[in-house]
Structure 1
C-alpha cells in the first residue's frame, strides 16, 4: 500500500522537464532516478525474463507477482511517456512496452548526442580569441562550450584547459603566452591561485 501511495504522490511532487529531443543524457538520468526511486526501473532491464503465460494452477504468489509486474510495467511506461513532449508522446504512445520505448529513445538520441559531441569537440579545438572582440564575452563563449561538453560527460582536465586557453590567445598576447608557458607554476581556471611545481 505504501508503494502505491508513493507512486501516486510522485505525480504531484516530481515534475520532470519534458524531453523534446535535446539533452537526452540529462533527461535519461532524471527519469532513471525517478524510476529507481519508485522501484520500477527493473522493468527496463534487458535481461528481465518475460512473464510466463498464466495457468489455471498458478499459486497465489505467482498470480500476485504477475499482477505486480504488469502494474509496474504500466506505471513505468506511463512515467516515460509523461516525460516526453507532445510530439514524442504521439510518436511512442502506440509502443506497448516501456523497455521498447526506452531502447528506441536511446538508439535515436544517443546517436544524435554522439554527433553533438563531435561537433562540440570540433568547436572547442577550433576556438580562437580575437583582439577585435572584448575578451570576457569570448571567455564566456568558451566556458559555454566546455559546460556543454561536461553535460555530455566529456571532462577536460583543468591543466589541459589552461594550456588550451593560453594557446588560443590572440597573437597580440604572444609575450604573455610565452611567459605563462615557461613559468614553473600550475595555473587554475576561475581562481587566483597558482601552485609551484618542484
Structure 2
C-alpha cells in the first residue's frame, strides 16, 4: 500500500485549503473518495454494493475526523456520513465568494522595485486570484499588463503574433527575467528621459549609442514606451 503523507490537523480557516487538498489526496489514494459525492445505494437486491459503500464511507469519515484538531473534533464527530461531514466543513471554512476574489484581484499590486524572480512569483499569485474570481484569461492578462513593469506589460500587449493572454504575458516576463535585468531597469518608466533610461530590449540593455527608433516604434522584441496599451477594460 502507498504510504500516506503526514498531515497537519485542520484547526481553523487559515489552513483549510492545504488541509482540503491533502485530505482529497489521501482519500483518492485509499480509493474511497467516491463516497463524498455518491449516495448510498438503496436498490433492492444490491446489498453487497451497499455494504461496500458503508465500508468505504466509514474509512473516509474516519480519516477526515482524524485530521481535525482536538478543538474541532467534538463539533463534527456527530455527523454520520463522510459526505455530510465534508460538506459541513466546507460550509464553515470554504466561504470565499467570487466577489471577494475579484476584490483581491483588483486590489493586487506588484511590489515596486522587486527583482525578477519575485516578480514571477507575484505573477503566479495574481493569476491565481483572477482564476478564483472566474475572470476570463484575456481580462486577467490585460489587467496585469497594466500593473506589471513597462518593459513587460507594454511588450506583451504590443506582440503582433498573438492575442493578449496569460501565455503571452508569461512568455514576455520570463524572457525579461532570463536576461538578468536588474530591478533598476525592470521598473523604469516612460517618465524617465531617454538619457537616463537608455532603453531596454527583451534580450538586455540597449547597447550604448544604438538608435532607439525601432524600440519606440514598438517592433517585436522591443519596448515601445509610448505605445498605447490595448484591452484594459473591466469585465
Same fold (TM over 0.5): yes
Equivalent in the alignment of 2:9: 18
Equivalent in the alignment of 1:166: 149
Q: CA deviation at 1:81?
A: 1.3
- 1:196 paired with 2:220, answer yes
Equivalent in the alignment of 1:48: 39
8 Å Cα contact 1:162-1:188 kept in structure 2: no
Instruction: Determine the C-alpha separation between the residues in 2 that align with 1:145 and 1:177.
Output: 11
8 Å Cα contact 2:101-2:130 kept in structure 1: yes
- 1:150 paired with 2:134, answer no
Larger relative contact order (Cα-Cα within 8 Å, sequence gap ≥ 6)? 1
- Aligned length in residues: 166
Equivalent in the alignment of 1:136: 114
8 Å Cα contact 2:145-2:154 kept in structure 1: no
8 Å Cα contact 1:76-1:98 kept in structure 2: yes
8 Å Cα contact 1:25-1:152 kept in structure 2: no
8 Å Cα contact 2:9-2:67 kept in structure 1: yes
Q: 1:17 is paired with a residue of what secondary structure?
A: coil
More helix by share: 1
What is the RMSD computed on CA atoms of the aligned residues?
4.3
Equivalent in the alignment of 1:97: 81
Instruction: Determine the C-alpha separation between the residues in 2 that align with 1:41 and 1:182.
Output: 44
Instruction: Determine the C-alpha separation between the residues in 1 that align with 2:36 and 2:157.
Output: 54
Residues 95/178 of structure 1: CA separation in 2 closer, same or farther (3 Å cut):
closer
Runs of 5+ unmatched residues, structure 2: 161-167, 180-201, 204-218, 222-235
Equivalent residue for 1:117, pick from 101, 104, 110: 101
| TM-score, reference length from structure 1 | 0.59
